[in-house]
Amino acid sequence: MNKIQLALLSCLLSVLSFITVAAEPRLEPTEQERARTVYIFHQPVVMLQAKFGLTTPEERVLRIRNTLRHFTEQDVREPLKIIPVTRYNQPGRLIVMNGKPVMLLTQADLDEGDDLTLDQAAQRVLTRLEAQRTALHEQYNSGWIALSAVKTIAGFLALVLFWYGAWRSWRWVRRFYRHRILESRSIIPQRWRKFVGAIETRLYALLMFLSGALGLYLWLRWAFSLFPWTRVWGTSLGDWAVRVLRDIAFSIASALPGLMIVLIIFLITAFILKLLKILLNQVEVGGLQLPGIHPETVGATRKLISVGVWLFALSAAYPFLPGANSLAFKGISVFFGLMLTLGSAGVMNHAMSGLVLIYSRALRKGDVIRVADNEGLVTEIGMLATKILTRENYIVTVPNAVVVSGKITNLSAQEPDAGINLTVGVTIGYDTPWRQVHAMLEMAARRAKCIDHSQPPLVRQLELMDWYIAYELQVKLIPGQALAEARNELHGLIQDVFNEFNVQIMSPNFVMQPEGTVIVAEENWYAAPAEQPEQK
């Protein structure tokens, strides 16, 4: 027997793997049933059940395999036949090839559930064997092999042409979107065009890559099926694809009820949050009052309620998510839980401090505050930090824990949309009449354009120091007036007024007792611009 014959018979008789039942194969055989099954090119032929003496059905399968290995190419060319025989006192049907026995099928090999006669079962086995023999004989024809090789090469060239076309189409799509961006012709806004175009081109590239991989898979399966030596691989690839698609379809079908429940839970959650939003919006505009909820805290309250409701909805929907009970899903949950536990200590401190700021209403967006060394306009009160716009036009981000732990000075008035309270101070010696200082500070305030003149300026003597008096001028600014600009204007006017009346702004200090007494004579108590009250 030459090498070609040996290869042919090895292929024919790589025949047996194990799956079928009696004369009719089972769909889901057990391990014992697999061992009793004759299998050719992954096609179930017959399952033997009869035991002859000490010979078990498994041993009969092995003997059939050894018998097939000894057939020649000439034997394979001859059609199979059925010969009625009697063996071991049982009626049987002997299947032969070129006069040589292949296998024996007896009445005891039949499965009562198949409801077949011995002749019917033998005919079905013969049909399956004959289909495999005919296909194998045709494929081992030299002309068939040559034609198969040509088909394989032609299929590969077609695949390469498809790959080239996919690559060229991707380049065309990329150029198309670049031209659309340059020409500004698109229904999508130009500021989104570059971003969206890049995503679309990459999605198209991914689609072409997957199409190319699918083409390669189909070509391999088809090419393997053309040759007898690789036909098993082609069948295996086909079975694998069918199995994967079937598993995917079953997984999707089995997950649909759970996904529908999840969808219903999320729709109910969204409806509840919509109602709460309408209710809280009424509180924010003042149309409704709820105990413990103020218009300034509506934003934070809405976020807290949304987070709580969504967490509750996620907890309710979690058991219905596909793969929720898998070890991988549980491992990911444990991993993220550990990360949150280890990393949330500082974050939660700032978050809770942010809630304290919001619900204590110590400040609000648009207030002018002083925190530590920072003074400016509050532009944002976040869950983790507060942002302040300073007079230098800097954005200072102060962690909420720092804001809460320190002193907060709110310079804004208590009335909504009112101006800011501004105070400036000077220290003047005792030799200057305090009435004159009061009058000069009030005059400087009246000259200022940034001050709300409907509110009269207020001058206070804060402290009587050893060598001078500390004065404070308090005014209210026009709404919307910047604090730094108002302070700059008022300082300049104070200097001008004091210069007009020859009063020096200074904080005197004495090294030794002066020769004269540092006092103001009574006739100078009402020095200009102070006005002496009328005598009653």
The 10s digit of each residue's pLDDT in 112-132 is 666 788 888 888 888 888 877
Question: Mean pLDDT for the chain?
Answer: 78
Mean pLDDT lowest for which of 39-48, 189-198, 520-529? 189-198
Please report, to the nearest 10 degrees, the dihedral formed by the alpha carbons of residues 230, 234, 237, 241 taken in order.
180
Instruction: List % helix, strand, coil for the chain (3-state, nearest 5).
Output: 55, 15, 30
Kindly tell me the burial class for residue 536, based on how many C-beta atoms sit within 10 Å of its own C-beta (0-12, 13-18, 19 or more): exposed
DSSP secondary structure, 103-120, as one string: EEEEGGGS-GGG---HHH
Mean pLDDT lowest for which of 36-50, 93-107, 177-191, 282-296? 177-191
| Token pair for 173 | 């799509």
Q: Give dist(CA 479, CA 29) in Å, integer.
A: 87
Count of other CB atoms within 10 angstroms of residue 448: 20
Q: Which of the four pLDDT bands, split at 50, 70 and 90, describes residue 185?
A: low
Where are the alpha helices (H) located in 229-323, listed in sequence order? Answer: 231-284, 298-317
Q: Give dist(CA 323, CA 305) in Å, integer.
A: 29
Query: pLDDT higher for 256 or 418?
Result: 256
Mean pLDDT of 50-72: 80
Q: Is pLDDT at 175 greater than 50 in this prediction?
A: yes
Q: Rounded to two decimals, what is the model's pTM?
A: 0.43
Q: Is pLDDT at 1 greater than 50 in this prediction?
A: no
What percentage of the chain reaches a pLDDT higher than 70?
Answer: 78
Q: Is pLDDT at 224 greater than 80 in this prediction?
A: yes
Mean pLDDT of 72-84: 81
Looking at residue 308, what is its pLDDT? 83
Looking at residue 277, what is its pLDDT? 84
Q: Which helix (H) or strand (E) holds 83?
A: strand 80-87
Mean pLDDT of 354-359: 67
Q: Give dist(CA 73, CA 95) in Å, integer.
A: 18
Mean pLDDT of 261-276: 89
Three-state DSSP state, 373: coil
Do 364 and 284 contact (CB within 8 A), yes or no? no
Type of residue numbered 305: I
Q: Which of the four pLDDT bands, split at 50, 70 and 90, describes residue 22?
A: very low
| Token pair for 497 | 């007024």
| Phi, psi angle pair for 126, to nearest 5° | -60, -40
What percentage of the chain reaches a pLDDT higher than 90?
Answer: 14
Q: Which helix (H) or strand (E) holds 396?
A: strand 395-399
Do 419 and 477 contact (CB within 8 A), yes or no? yes
Query: pLDDT higher for 28 or 412?
Result: 412
DSSP secondary structure, 84-146, as one string: EEEETTEEEEEEEETTEEEEEEEGGGS-GGG---HHHHHHHHHHHHHHHHHHHHHHTSHHHHH
How far does Cα 423 stand from its chain's mean position? 52
Mean pLDDT of 465-475: 92
Give the single-character DSSP code of 414.
Answer: S
| Token pair for 416 | 């909504």
Residue identified by tokens 């697999």 is 34
Looking at residue 228, what is its pLDDT? 65
User: Tens digit of pLDDT for each residue in 379-412?
Assistant: 887 767 888 888 778 888 888 777 777 777 787 7
Instruction: For residue 440, give the nearest of 470, 473, 467 by alpha carbon.
Output: 473
Q: Is pLDDT at 355 greater than 80 in this prediction?
A: no
Do 92 and 105 contact (CB within 8 A), yes or no? yes
Q: Which of the four pLDDT bands, split at 50, 70 and 90, describes residue 4?
A: very low
Do 15 and 40 contact (CB within 8 A), yes or no? yes
- Taking the alpha carbons at both ends of the chain, their separation in whole angstroms is 148
Length of the chain: 536
Looking at residue 12, what is its pLDDT? 43
Q: Which long-range contacts (CB under 8 A, 24 or more apart) does 132-138 make?
A: 132/12, 132/40, 132/41, 132/43, 132/45, 133/12, 133/76, 133/79, 133/80, 133/97, 136/8, 136/11, 136/12, 136/76, 136/228, 137/76, 137/77
Mean pLDDT of 285-309: 73
| Most confident among 169-173, 340-344, 498-502, 528-532 (mean pLDDT) | 498-502
Beta bridge partners of 373: none
Looking at residue 447, what is its pLDDT? 92
Kindly calculate the radius of gyration of the chain based on its CA atoms and give it in whole angstroms: 48
Q: Give dist(CA 265, CA 493) in Å, integer.
A: 67
Looking at residue 41, what is its pLDDT? 62
| Token pair for 417 | 């949309």
Mean pLDDT lowest for which of 137-141, 282-286, 459-463, 528-532? 137-141
Q: Which of the four pLDDT bands, split at 50, 70 and 90, describes residue 194?
A: low
Q: Is pLDDT at 249 greater than 50 in this prediction?
A: yes
Q: Give dist(CA 263, CA 257) in Å, integer.
A: 10
